[in-house]
Amino acid sequence: MKKIDYKLLIAVVILTLFGLLMIYSSSSVWAEYKFHDSFRYLKLQSIFFIISLIIMYIVIKIDYTYYLKKANIILIICFLLLLLVLIPGLGVVRNGSRSWFKLGFIAMQPSEFMKLSLIIFTSKYLSNNLKEIKSIIKGVIPILFITILAFLLIMLEPDMGTGLIILVTTIGLLFVSGVELSFFVKIMILGLMGLSGLIIIAPYRLNRILSFINPFNDPLGTGFQAIQSMYAIGPGGLFGTGLFKSIQKQFYLPEPQTDFIFSIISEEFGILGSIIVLGLFAYIIYRIIKTALKCNDLFSKFLCFGIIFQLSIQIILNLGVVTTLFPVTGVTLPFLSYGGSSLLITYISIGIILNISKNNVN
């Protein structure tokens, strides 16, 4: 019997539908104000959801070994796209980053595609060179070099959130592949140095970190988003204000349907919102980890893990930022935040995992 993991599929769809509801709730005030159409963001995201479902359906049909064969080509195409997006005229600036292609009414982020394609490539690389991986120079450095190349291109946009996720995903895959732990200690030291370097290049990042330590020091500047997020989560209380009754979405929190959608969920649903979101995420992660453990070949195991590792890091980063555990980084919340490219890529990833789940059931 070759059956896909329906439990995972159902969990993902439920979470996305809940996301659509909350995108409507959090964006309707802004949408009415900007476009005189309170349903605008809901409509667009619904279209993306349908497209994502169709594409996922196709992806489920494609045997995952196809990506093993095409990994190099896919990576090269993504690199080209990352270069092209930097060219003014082709790439469009949004929120200070030249990271978008505008195709008609649809906007696409090549860095989103890079995230997946690098997982595919790294999985292939690791499954082919698992013996050499014990050697840092022969095994680790080459794949790290490619990753850093992608990272640097993304930092030119600049989009630190996505860049860091790509970097961390490769390191996560290296960790699972069995690289010695002392290597990660060195990486961590290097990472801290790199972070210092980034701060020296652009001091606004230091402000973000400082405002993270005490957002109320600069409530209208760097601490603004953190404070607005807390003013949503806190006053909602354990039981929330009730669906559609958020006050913070009334122009206090800018673009509440994107990075800070969890603040509005918490405000309206209280503790129940956290349980729904964290519970569904935990269940999805659990199902994919289970699939990864069951995989019989190294490539699919790495691919599965790479995908769920990346998703988990994004979830933790986003929720950490929203609850002010971490400084503001600008990472969206998978399945829930408004954004077409992100949803599409997430659904393609889930499609790949569902295909793997079908092929690897013992």
Partner 1 sequence: MFFNIIHKRIKIFFIFVIIMFIIIFLKVIYLQVIKYNKLKNGADDLWSRELPIEGDRGLIYDRNLDPLATNLTTTSLVLIPNQIKDKELVSSKLADILNVSKEDMDKHVYKKTSIERVHPEGRKLGFDVSNKISDLKLDGVYLVKEAKRYYPYNNNLSQVLGFVGIDNQGLSGLELNYDEYLKGKSGSIKYFSDAKGNKLDISEIYNEPSNGMNLMLTINNELQKSVERELDNAVLKYNPEHALAIAMDPNTGEILAMSSRPNFDPNNYKKYDTETLNRNLPIWMSYEPGSTFKIITLSASLEEKTIDLYKDTFYDSGHIQVENAKIKCWKTGGHHAETFLNVVENSCNPGFVVMGQKLGKERLFNYINKFGFGIKTGIDLSGEASGIMFNIDRVGPVELATTSFGQGVSVTPIQQITAVSAAINGGYLYKPYIVKALLEPETNTQIKTYDKKLVRRVIKEETSKEVRTALESVVTNGTGRNAFIDGYRVGGKTGTAQKVNNGIYMTGNYIVSFIGFMPSDNPEIIVYVAIDNPKGVVQYGGTVAAPIARNILYDSISILNIKKSKKAAEKKYQFNEKKYIEVPNFVGKNISELGKINNGLLIEYTGTGKRVIYQSIKSKERVLEGSKIRVLLGD
> Which residues here bind partner 1, judged by CB under 8 A?
29, 33, 130, 172, 175-178, 227, 230-231, 233-238, 247-248, 250-252, 266, 270-271, 274, 278, 281-282, 285-286, 289, 292-293, 301, 305, 309, 312, 316, 319-320, 323-325
The CA dihedral of 203, 206, 212, 213, to the nearest 10 degrees, is -140
- The span from the CA of 277 to the CA of 287, in Å, is 16
Phi, psi for 327 (deg, rounded to 5): -70, 160
What is the residue-wise DSSP string for 148-184? HHHHHHHHHTT-HHHHHHHHHHHHHHHHHHT--HHHH
CB of 95 to partner 1, least distance (A): 19
Tokens of 241: 């204000």
Phi, psi for 255 (deg, rounded to 5): 45, 60
Instruction: Indicate the residue among 27 and 266 with the shorter CB distance to partner 1.
Output: 266
CB of 49 to partner 1, least distance (A): 25
Instruction: Indicate the residue among 99 and 346 with the shorter CB distance to partner 1.
Output: 346
* In the chain, alpha helices (H): 6-35, 40-61, 65-85, 110-128, 141-156, 160-177, 181-201, 204-213, 224-236, 261-269, 271-294, 298-322, 340-360
Quick check: 353 and 288 in contact, CB under 8 A? yes
CB of 248 to partner 1, least distance (A): 8
Cβ burial of 192 (10 Å; 0-12, 13-18, 19+) is: exposed
Instruction: Indicate the residue among 137 and 238 with the shorter CB distance to partner 1.
Output: 238
- The span from the CA of 293 to the CA of 221, in Å, is 46
Instruction: Indicate the residue among 96 and 234 with the shorter CB distance to partner 1.
Output: 234
Instruction: Indicate the residue among 312 and 341 with the shorter CB distance to partner 1.
Output: 312
> Is the Cα torsion angle 66, 72, 76, 79 positive or negative in sign?
positive
3-state secondary structure of 239: coil
CB of 330 to partner 1, least distance (A): 18
Instruction: Indicate the residue among 160 and 233 with the shorter CB distance to partner 1.
Output: 233
Residue 52 has a CB neighbour count (10 Å cut-off) of 23
- The span from the CA of 177 to the CA of 78, in Å, is 24
CB of 9 to partner 1, least distance (A): 20
Q: Report in angstroms the alpha-carbon separations of 212 from 198, 226, 227.
A: 17, 7, 10
What region does 339 belong to: left with phi over 0, alpha with psi -120 to 50, or beta? left
Instruction: Indicate the residue among 90 and 176 with the shorter CB distance to partner 1.
Output: 176
Instruction: Indicate the residue among 1 and 238 with the shorter CB distance to partner 1.
Output: 238
Instruction: Indicate the residue among 99 and 300 with the shorter CB distance to partner 1.
Output: 300
